[in-house]
Amino acid sequence: MFGAYRAMLSAPGARPLVAVGWLARMPRAMIGLGLVGLVSGRHGSYGLAGAVCSTFVLANAVISPWVARAADRYGQRRAAVPALMVSCAGLVTLVACGVLVLPGWVYFPAAVTAGTLPNVDSMLRARWSALYRDDPRLHTAFSLESVAENVTFVAGPILALCLATGIAPEAGVLSALACALVGTLALTGQRATEPALAARHLHTTAPSLLRNGAVWVLCTVFVGVGAVFGSLDVTCVAYGASLGHKAAASLALVCLAVGSTLAGLVMGGLQWRSTLRTRLLLSTAVFALLLFPLFVVDGLPALGAVLLLSGMFASPSMITANSLVQRLVPAVRLNEGLSWLLSGLSVGISAGDVLAGWAIDTAGPHAAFVTPVACAVFAALAVAAGWRAIAL
């Protein structure tokens, strides 16, 4: 298994790409809870904090694919750096709003501006595709990317919240800002791995991805998977609180991340003979089936065990979907195609938060586990319904 990773890191520029990638993707993981810590710390309102956080997430989900499209056409550096500067201006404004305790409405235009943050994850995968197109090492690279996402999306929010509560309400957002500047500039400065631009006429003649059925199917799958993650965040904390162990509930979520990370590492070290769409259907279906025991869990240890096991099929689902996009969209639209998937994931996480909150208020914490189960079933059904569209 480790031989596959050594081979993947053998290309010139591969090791620096991995090293910079960890830092460059941290901001997207940190900003959400960083904003919650900032707004709630200065205004004492979690409702306002959640609204500002959702505004940033949705703005980024809408804007980042268009930044990625510009990266496909003009190059990652020329597209990402201006977008980064605009985003940093929005983040600085958000910090100023907190320091000056400005009225709540001022946060929203600043959050939209911050939402221009470039989607580093899609740029990284586009670079790996340029290095290893039609090479088995690409599968390993995509697996490593998913592992890195898992780790950063566990560590990033915790770090942001600790900084916001332990140092100052603005500290989480400021740290995300620093990571965005250093990480994104370091990534775009690596010219050796930047995908070569195709001829200009290929960009203008390539069909829009908004009319690509495969992208819609895979984006819908990511909405479902993201909704599982978002709803589990809320339901696990609520369930832990109902047992009198609210803080310990986070350990159950760590189990989900550990299972997903381990599965991603193992998957990246193996070569598969089955087709990508078959693997996607199987992984999403098993992911959904393994969540059904949530209905009968009794205590946090049982919850952690269910999430550890089910998490082993979360990462393979995302790895396979990204590999399908790499095969199904034109090379001149690859940044954009990968970015649409991550936008779907962000939208799903936000939707899962809302749905789970409503279910908890309506039926209670334990009954609310129906939300992540239903979202996982939705993701599997989306694969089945779009079976023909994702054929290679």
Alpha-carbon distances, residue 313 vs 74, 125, 235 (angstroms): 36, 20, 20
Say what percent of the chain tops pLDDT 70: 94
Please list, residue by residue across 102-135, b when 16 or more beta carbons sit within 10 angstroms of its beta carbon and e when fewer do: eebeebbebbbbbbbbbbbbbbbbbbbbebbeee
Which comes out higher in pLDDT, residue 371 or 73?
371
Sequence-ordered list of residues with C-beta below 8 angstroms from that of 162, at least 6 positions apart, any chain = none
48-92 confidence digits (pLDDT tens): 877 888 888 889 888 988 888 888 888 888 888 999 999 999 999
For the record, the structure tokens of 324 come out as 């399908």
Q: Where are the domains of the chain?
A: 1-197, 212-392
Contact 280, 325 (CB under 8 A): no
For the record, the structure tokens of 153 come out as 């999306």
Kindly tell me if the per-residue pLDDT of 13 is higher than 80: no
Q: Helices in 25-136 by DSSP H: which ranges?
A: 26-43, 46-74, 76-100, 107-114, 120-132
Architecture of the domain delimited by 1-197: Up-down Bundle (1.20)
Kindly tell me if the per-residue pLDDT of 205 is higher than 60: no
pLDDT (0 to 100) of residue 91: 92
What class, spelled out in words, does domain 212-392 have in CATH? mainly alpha
Which of 105-114, 203-212, 282-291 bottoms out in mean pLDDT, i.e. has the lowest?
203-212
Alpha-carbon distances, residue 251 vs 137, 154, 255, 277, 306 (angstroms): 33, 11, 6, 33, 12
Which comes out higher in pLDDT, residue 226 or 200?
226
Average model confidence (pLDDT) across the chain: 83
Alpha-carbon distances, residue 155 vs 62, 158, 191, 356 (angstroms): 25, 5, 29, 23
Same fold for the pair 1-197 and 212-392: yes
Kindly tell me if the per-residue pLDDT of 4 is higher than 50: yes
Kindly tell me if the per-residue pLDDT of 359 is higher than 70: yes
Kindly tell me if the per-residue pLDDT of 363 is higher than 80: yes
Instruction: Write down the residue that tokens 């991805």 correspond to.
Output: 209
> pLDDT band at 159, cuts 50/70/90?
confident
Beta-carbon count within 10 A of 333 CB: 25
Mean pLDDT calculated for residue range 331-357: 83
d(C-alpha 158, C-alpha 19), whole Å: 21
Mean pLDDT calculated for residue range 347-352: 85
> pLDDT band at 201, cuts 50/70/90?
very low
> pLDDT band at 204, cuts 50/70/90?
low
